Structure 1
Amino acid sequence: MKIARITLRHVRMPFRHAFSTSRWTLTHKDAILVEAATDGGLTGWGECVALAYPDYCYESTAINALVLREYLVPLVLGQELADAQALWDAMSPVAGHRIAKAGLECAFWDLDAQARGQSLSTRLGGTRERVETGVSVSVHDTPEALLRSVEGYLREGYGRVKLKIKPGKDLVETALVRKNWPGLKLQVDGNAAYTLEHLDRLTGLDDLGLLLIEQPLSNEDIIDHAQLQQRMRTAVCLDESILSADDARKALSISACRIINIKPGRVGGVRESVRIHDLCRAQGVPVWMGGMFETGIGRALNVAVASLPGFTLPGDISASSKYFEEDIVEEPFSLNADSTLTVPTAPGLGIRVDARRLARYTVAEETFTASAR
């Protein structure tokens, strides 16, 4: 397969509600969308999920655009790419920048599956027609406001809730949610806001019947996570600490966690996500799908990957309406009555981009062709 044309679009979409974690508050979704076309008439889509500001990691929307424009697009445009490994070989001169690479790789997988007449889920070996999902609830100013938000999401049909927490907004808030909904599937996410000096606060969560505590310590603190897991009954789940299957292997080898979160954008795309999934499944370690406020393009990719058999915990994929008044795909993802999303069955990602909505939210656009290189 040869990619003859690539268009990069910077989109900016307003959130329905501001979303706050222990580290930042977002009011808009910024992303670089990758549209890749072949001479044979196929078009594939990908999404770079980095935030507008480089505080989740060193990548950002602007950095994604620069790396794609100056380095990655010239490396792959017009090249014969037999499979995803060939794409990664072509991109190998560029170190790091997994999110930028993942956006380009997503578009390739869309093209690859379309060319085979398969949905991406089928292409990857997915086994589910629906994937279980939950909802992520931001840090709130007051416990009362938090309870109102949780109640609203439960009324919408979500069966699992994840609370964003930070020091000083953790034990009381989580205990209140547990008190109000004793049987709720509940977990928390520290977004690396804690250290081992907060051990008493963290172990205080052990009595609240949580599914897991996600990334409580710094991204680089694998050793400290291992110490924390030894002292907590609740399963520690690693997110930002895991950038590859090799990272997952090392973390599991020292018992730094019992669960791993997989975000295709964070780890470099589908290929590495599947590798982490396979490693964890072989060791009996649960994985679940994370989210980065994706548009319908990135959401379709996440749903397809989450249909693999090792994804045994509810994900953070959520319905499109969780974040956006309108999505850029013609048929946004909606929540089923059993707190699931339906896996697309049409070839490739199985979505169609709405050209008018896309134009409405595009703030910058540039196109590259093989003949111009």
Structure 2
Amino acid sequence: MNIKEIKMHQLVMNLKSHFTTSFGSQQERFITIIEAVDDQGVSGFGECVSGEDPLYSEEFMDASLIAMKKYFGPLVIHNTINHPDDVWELFKPFKRNNMSKAAIEGAVWDLYAKQQQQPLADVIGGSKSEVDVGVSLGLEDTDNALLEKVGEKVEEGYKRIKVKIKPGRDVDMVRKIRDKFGDIPLMVDANSAYTLDDIEVLKELDAFDLMMIEQPLAAGDLIDHAKLQKQLTTPVCLDESIDSYEAAAGAIELGSCEIINVKVGRVGGITQSIKIHDLAQKHGIPLWCGGMLEAGVGRFHNVAITTLPNFTLPGDTASSGRYWYEDITTPEVIAENGVVTVIDKPGIGAAVDFDKMQQYLKKTEVITEADKPDMIFYD
């Protein structure tokens, strides 16, 4: 593919409102947009979804920047890439750092699709012209404030409402939502906030006919989730525990969940997301695509992966305007009545608007052929 340089555009974007989970509250988002440029001057774009701190996962943005600059960017420039799948094989010897890998690989996928003059969704084997989306709501200071947010999103037509929970903000809060809004499609996300000691509380959630409870127990765990799923009628959905194809295979084998949330960054990129999709489809495990507070580039990558047939549940890719005062792509992601239309243009289907991006840009670093992969090998 003759990739000549990789640019790392480092941004800080302010959220319209704070987003609170069991990890804490967030008002601004550190984002790195990766731009892979070929010898004809064509650019492909990816997005690094690492957080500022190692809370959701062990990855955090400062470390991701080092990994991309020191290893993954130079490796792509100094090796022959015939197809984006080659990138995963190139990165395979390096342990984890999945969000860094996915950011570089995502830019290569977008570039490849543009070189083929095809939408990214078509290139990866997608078959949908529209995808259903839901919305993810963080914890509010009061239950009444959350009920107002839920009401807004129900009115906007989202196909599923997800609310964050944590110990002390769970059963009563969900009961209030059900009492006020009836049988809306509703799920909860615990972000690993519980243990098996909380099983009686989690069993109380069975009374509310939830679509699923997402990642109730520890990140990375499969065994305790299998024990929990046997005692719940509500489907368990795994998020943080599915960080690889191997983890997905283990979860399916153990019966740790009935649903999987695929996040492209968390599993290492599009190539691995496709593998997990095919495995889950074979075993009858439905998928949906989770969100990581992405800007437009990451959101359009999520739309593309969701066009694969086994993504049968609404994902988290709500409208850009749900989170950002102004996104960095033209067009932005727009959900109408809970549906995002897949743009029939090459690559992700949207252009990065550098004038818009400039207001958030803190720094751009460029990796070129002069930058060699900095590696020491041990026996």
TM-score range for the pair, normalised by the shorter chain length = over 0.9
Q: How does 1:84-99 map to 2 (within 5 A)?
A: 84-99=84-99
Query: Is the contact made by 1:121 and 1:307 (CA closer than 8 Å) also made in structure 2?
Result: yes
Length-normalised TM-score, structure 1? 0.98
Corresponding residue number in structure 2 for 1:367 = 366
Q: How does 1:205-284 map to 2 (within 5 A)?
A: 205-284=205-284
* Alpha-carbon distance in structure 2 between the residues aligned to 1:109 and 1:321: 26
- 3-state DSSP class of the match of 2:275? helix
Letter in 2 for 1:63: A
Letter in 2 for 1:81: I
* Alpha-carbon distance in structure 2 between the residues aligned to 1:232 and 1:226: 10
Corresponding residue number in structure 1 for 2:81 = 81
* Alpha-carbon distance in structure 2 between the residues aligned to 1:73 and 1:3: 10
1:300 aligns with 2:300: yes
Letter in 2 for 1:349: I
* Alpha-carbon distance in structure 2 between the residues aligned to 1:163 and 1:322: 15
Corresponding residue number in structure 1 for 2:317 = 317
- 3-state DSSP class of the match of 2:115? helix
Residue 90 of structure 1 and its aligned partner are, at CA, apart by 2.3
Query: Is the contact made by 2:220 and 2:242 (CA closer than 8 Å) also made in structure 1?
Result: no
Extract unaligned runs of 5+ from structure 1.
Answer: none
Letter in 1 for 2:283: Q
- 3-state DSSP class of the match of 2:252? helix
Corresponding residue number in structure 2 for 1:198 = 198
- 3-state DSSP class of the match of 2:332? coil
Corresponding residue number in structure 1 for 2:355 = 356
Q: May I ask how many residue pairs the two structures share in their alignment?
A: 372
Residue 92 of structure 1 and its aligned partner are, at CA, apart by 3.0
More moved, 353-362 vs 298-307: 353-362
Corresponding residue number in structure 1 for 2:167 = 167
Corresponding residue number in structure 2 for 1:121 = 121
Extract unaligned runs of 5+ from structure 2.
Answer: 373-379
Letter in 1 for 2:348: L
User: Could you list the per-position Cα deviations for residues 310-336 of structure 1 after superposition, in whole angstroms to 9, with x for gaps in the alignment?
Assistant: 001010111101110100012111111
Query: Is the contact made by 2:74 and 2:371 (CA closer than 8 Å) also made in structure 1?
Result: no
Residue 371 of structure 1 and its aligned partner are, at CA, apart by 4.9
Length-normalised TM-score, structure 2? 0.96
The list of structure 1 runs, each at least 4 consecutive aligned residues, that deviate by more than 4 angstroms after superposition, is none
- 3-state DSSP class of the match of 2:162? strand
- 3-state DSSP class of the match of 1:20? strand
Corresponding residue number in structure 2 for 1:344 = 343
Letter in 1 for 2:267: V
Let me know the Cα RMSD of the aligned residues: 1.1
User: Could you list the per-position Cα deviations for residues 34-60 of structure 1 after superposition, in whole angstroms to 9, with x for gaps in the alignment?
Assistant: 101000221000000011111111111
Corresponding residue number in structure 1 for 2:154 = 154
Q: How does 1:123-138 map to 2 (within 5 A)?
A: 123-138=123-138
- 3-state DSSP class of the match of 1:225? helix
